[in-house]
Amino acid sequence: MPDPGAILTRNWLHFGRILRGLGFDAGPARMLPFLTALTVIDLRRADDLRTALHVHFARRRDELAILDRALAAFLRGHVPEGELPSSSSTTSSERGATITITGRQLKVLDDESLAEGAEEQEVASYSQAEVLREKDFDTLSEAEMAEVRRLIRLMRLPAGLTRSRRARAAQPALWW
Amino acid sequence: MQDLPVASIEDVERALQAHRYIADRSLATTIFLALTLDKPLLLEGEAGVGKTEVGKVLAEILDTRLIRLQCYEGIDVNNAVYEWAYAKQMLHIRLLESAGAKRDETEREIYSHQFLVKRPLLQAIESEGARPPVLLIDEIDRADDEFEAFLLELLSDFQISIPEIGTIKADKPPAVIITSNRTREIHDALKRRCLYFWIDYPSVEREYEIITARVPDVPAKLARQVSAFIGEVRRLDLYKLPGIAETLDWTRSLIALGETELSEAAVQATLGAVVKYQEDLERLRGAGSRELLARAVNA
Judge: A37–B33 Cβ closer than 8 Å, yes or no. yes
- Given a cut of 90, whether residue A79 has pLDDT beyond it is no
Query: Looking at chain B, which residue has its C-alpha nearest residue A56?
Result: B195
Question: pLDDT confidence of A84, banded at 50, 70, 90?
Answer: very low
Query: Looking at chain B, which residue has its C-alpha nearest residue A172?
Result: B239
Of B148 and A116, which is predicted with more confidence? B148
From CA B33, how far away is CA B25, in angstroms rounded?
12
From CA B204, how far away is CA B210, in angstroms rounded?
10
- Given a cut of 60, whether residue B187 has pLDDT beyond it is yes
| Chain A residues inside the 8 Å CB shell of B283 | 174
Chains A and B: how many Cβ contacts under 8 Å? 71
The interface predicted TM-score of the complex, written ipTM, equals 0.82
Judge: A59–B191 Cβ closer than 8 Å, yes or no. yes
Of the partner residues A51, A59, A161, the one whose CB lies closest to the CB of residue B29: A51
- Given a cut of 80, whether residue A172 has pLDDT beyond it is no
Q: What is the per-residue pLDDT across B36-54, written as a single tens digit (0 to 9) for each?
A: 999 999 999 999 899 999 9
- A52 close to A46: Cβ distance less than 8 angstroms: no
| Chain A residues inside the 8 Å CB shell of B184 | 161
Judge: A47–B26 Cβ closer than 8 Å, yes or no. yes
Which among A75, A122, A133 is positioned nearest to A101, based on CA atoms?
A75
Hey, is the C-beta of A44 within 8 angstroms of any chain B C-beta? no
Average pLDDT over chain B, rounded to whole?
Answer: 90
Of A176 and B262, which is predicted with more confidence? B262
Hey, is the C-beta of A110 within 8 angstroms of any chain B C-beta? no
What letters, b where the CB count within 10 A reaches 16 and e where it falls short, cover A98-111?
bbbbbeebbebbee
User: In chain B, where do the E strands start and end?
Assistant: 41-44, 66-70, 82-84, 116-118, 134-138, 159-162, 166-169, 175-180, 195-198
Of the partner residues B144, B195, B237, the one whose CB lies closest to the CB of residue A55: B195
pTM attached to this predicted model: 0.75
Selected for mutation to probe chain A from B41, B185, B198 (highest A CB count within 10 Å) is B198
The percent of residues in chain A predicted with pLDDT above 70, rounded, is 60
Of the partner residues A55, A59, A171, the one whose CB lies closest to the CB of residue B30: A55
Q: What is the per-residue pLDDT across B116-168, written as a single tens digit (0 to 9) for each?
A: 999 999 999 988 878 899 999 999 999 988 888 888 888 888 999 888 888 99
- B226 close to B250: Cβ distance less than 8 angstroms: yes
Q: Which of residues 17-36 of A touch B (CB under 8 A)?
A: 25, 29-30, 33, 36
pLDDT value at residue A95: 40
- A163 close to B143: Cβ distance less than 8 angstroms: no
Q: What is the per-residue pLDDT across B163-182, written as a single tens digit (0 to 9) for each?
A: 888 899 998 899 999 999 98
Distance from CA of A147 to the nearest CA of B (A): 13
